[in-house]
């Protein structure tokens, strides 16, 4: 019998109250919105709104719900994005929030919701200042219409915000920001380009792996994580290679939802601790940053949780039942690297991100290491890194994956 934390203490499992899943699910938005009020703040990036905005606004209109549309969301939403979205919510006397897009839109909507029901600036709710569960009051009703297959934000208690004044990202974590309704319609992901299919898919893989090995893991999120890894491993390369394959798109969408449910009920760990500072400094999409870092953290951490990493290797198809636990655990990094290579992850660095010369990178490594520690995420890792080890990991990532002539890029 497996030892379980549930034999010793209570855990709270959070999830959206309702999940609408499958082709055509976007058509349910109006009915849900009408239960909450008659004016919705609709939050999206301009690009996503061009693709799907009319669909959502028409569905709302048919249900008798007016839309106040905010489309200035940045790929990494900023303090200013959240404040501007909340200002529109307030001016239009909105009753609820509908987000359209991936993590950036959802996080902007969550942030605006925090300001709508809580006093203070958004920065005050970061875990480094308010701690975990630092949002006192629930947001207004929130419906998250997902158009990507990676962030899992529609199922989580997390908000990631960029603070451009300090070139850092901060994290807010509270059950009071979990969306009330998650809409998972794979037809909306067909418009996702290959690059972002790769980024969001690897982001979801990272969520699943980190939740699975976290020191806060237990049976419920472990089950979500295992299912997520299996779905992503088999279907992400297919969805990347043929974006019109709706079966693969749907499978990855379910996988990323399960990965979101895994990490919001366990935690993320060292990869995310390293990724937020790296992404902020190099202006990398979050999923790309995660994928650049993930193999090195898997290699670093496997010794501390060999059974878990052996399971990961077997799920990713790089180990079998005949391998010893240690042999399988050591192979997990190969499975991660293969999946990253399948979707040409490092090939997108020329177009997404600003890789500095090594000397300039060295100038910010110490600050990035401190930001990683301050985030709290590395403390959830099975192997606890020292500050020096964080610096070494950042240098390895540069030399092996970021530099133009690095092995993973060449």
Q: Are 400 and 296 in contact (CB under 8 A)?
A: yes
Neighbours of 35 (CB within 10 A): 13
Structure tokens at 108: 């902007």
Give me the pLDDT at residue 2, please: 59
The residue-averaged pLDDT of 231-235 equals 98
Give me the pLDDT at residue 29, please: 98
Structure tokens at 80: 């200013």
Give me the pLDDT at residue 149, please: 83
Phi, psi dihedrals of residue 68, rounded to the nearest 5°: -105, 110
Give the start-to-end residue ranges of the domains of the chain.
18-189, 194-402
Cα 240 from Cα 344, distance rounded (Å): 10
pLDDT digits (tens, 9 = 90+) for 175-230: 999 999 999 999 999 988 999 999 999 999 999 999 999 999 999 999 999 999 99
Closest Cα to residue 192, out of 254, 154, 232, 148?
148
The residue-averaged pLDDT of 337-365 equals 96
pLDDT digits (tens, 9 = 90+) for 3-57: 578 888 998 899 999 999 999 999 999 999 999 999 999 999 999 999 999 999 9
Tell whether the model's pLDDT for residue 1 goes beyond 70.
no
Q: Are 313 and 301 in contact (CB under 8 A)?
A: no
DSSP 309: H
Domain covering 194-402 assigned CATH 1.20.1090.10 in the classification = yes
For 395, the 3-state DSSP assignment is: helix
Task: Kindly list the distances between the CA atom of residue 134 and the CA atoms of 106, 378, 396, in Å, as whole numbers in the listed order.
Answer: 19, 20, 35
Tell whether the model's pLDDT for residue 271 goes beyond 50.
yes
Give me the pLDDT at residue 410, please: 83
Find how far residue 124's CA is from the centre of its chain: 22
Tell me the torsion sign for CA atoms 93, 96, 101, 107.
positive
CA angle in degrees (0–180, nearest 5) for 106-237-217: 55
Instruction: Judge whether 18-189 and 194-402 match in fold.
Output: no
pLDDT digits (tens, 9 = 90+) for 97-154: 999 999 999 999 999 999 999 999 999 999 989 999 999 999 999 999 999 888 889 9
Tell me the torsion sign for CA atoms 173, 53, 287, 19.
positive
Q: Are 256 and 201 in contact (CB under 8 A)?
A: yes
Cα 378 from Cα 67, distance rounded (Å): 41
Give me the pLDDT at residue 69, please: 98
Q: By CB neighbour count within 10 A (0-12 exposed, 13-18 middle, 19+ buried), where does 150 fall?
A: buried
CATH of 18-189, one of 2.60.40.1120, 3.30.1330.180, 3.40.50.1970, 3.90.1200.10: 3.40.50.1970
The residue-averaged pLDDT of 319-323 equals 95
pLDDT digits (tens, 9 = 90+) for 272-312: 999 999 998 999 999 999 999 999 999 999 999 999 999 99
The residue-averaged pLDDT of 71-86 equals 94
pLDDT range class, residue 375, cuts 50, 70, 90: confident
Structure tokens at 71: 């489309």
Structure tokens at 278: 């790296």
Give me the pLDDT at residue 150, please: 81
pLDDT range class, residue 76, cuts 50, 70, 90: confident
Q: Kindly tell me the number of DSSP H helices and DSSP E strands found in the chain.
A: 14, 8
Closest Cα to residue 368, out of 281, 301, 292?
281
Cα 178 from Cα 31, distance rounded (Å): 19
């Amino acid at each position: 019998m497996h030892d379980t934390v549930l034999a010793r203490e209570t855990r709270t499992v959070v999830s959206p109250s309702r999940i609408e899943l499958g082709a055509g699910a976007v058509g349910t938005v109006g009915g849900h919105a009408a239960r909450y009020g008659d004016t919705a703040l609709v939050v999206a990036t301009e690009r996503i709104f061009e693709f799907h905005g009319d669909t959502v606004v028409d569905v709302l209109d048919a249900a008798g719900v007016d839309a106040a549309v905010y489309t200035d969301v940045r790929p990494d939403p900023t303090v200013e994005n959240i404040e501007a979205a909340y200002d529109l919510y307030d001016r239009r006397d909105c009753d609820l929030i509908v987000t359209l897009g991936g993590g950036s839109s959802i996080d902007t909507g969550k942030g605006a919701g925090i300001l709508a029901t809580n006093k203070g600036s958004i920065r005050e709710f970061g875990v480094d200042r308010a701690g975990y569960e630092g949002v006192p009051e629930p947001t207004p009703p929130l419906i998250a219409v997902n158009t990507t297959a990676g962030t899992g934000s529609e199922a989580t208690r997390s908000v990631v915000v960029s603070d451009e004044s300090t070139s850092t990202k901060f994290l807010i974590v509270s059950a009071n920001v979990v969306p009330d309704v998650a809409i998972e319609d794979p037809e909306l992901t067909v418009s996702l380009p290959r690059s972002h299919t790769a980024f969001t898919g690897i982001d979801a893989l990272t969520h699943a792996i980190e939740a699975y090995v976290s020191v806060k893991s237990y049976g419920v999120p472990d089950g979500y994580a295992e299912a997520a890894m299996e779905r992503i491993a088999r279907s992400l390369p297919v969805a990347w290679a043929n974006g019109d394959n709706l079966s693969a798109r749907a499978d990855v969408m379910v996988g990323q939802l399960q990965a979101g449910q895994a990490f919001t009920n366990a935690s993320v760990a060292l990869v995310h601790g390293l990724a937020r500072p790296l992404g902020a400094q190099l202006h990398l999409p979050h999923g790309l940053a995660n994928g650049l870092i993930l193999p090195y953290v898997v290699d670093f951490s496997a010794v501390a949780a060999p059974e878990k990493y052996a399971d990961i290797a077997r799920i990713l198809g790089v180990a079998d039942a005949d391998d010893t636990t240690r042999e399988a655990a050591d192979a997990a990094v190969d499975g991660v690297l293969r999946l990253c290579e399948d979707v040409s992850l490092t090939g997108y660095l020329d177009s997404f991100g600003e890789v500095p010369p090594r000397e300039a990178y060295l100038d910010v490594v110490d600050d990035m290491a401190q930001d990683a520690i301050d985030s709290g995420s590395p403390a959830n890792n099975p192997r606890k890194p020292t500050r020096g080890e964080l610096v070494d990991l950042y240098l390895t990532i540069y030399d092996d994956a970021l530099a133009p002539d690095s092995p993973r890029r060449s």
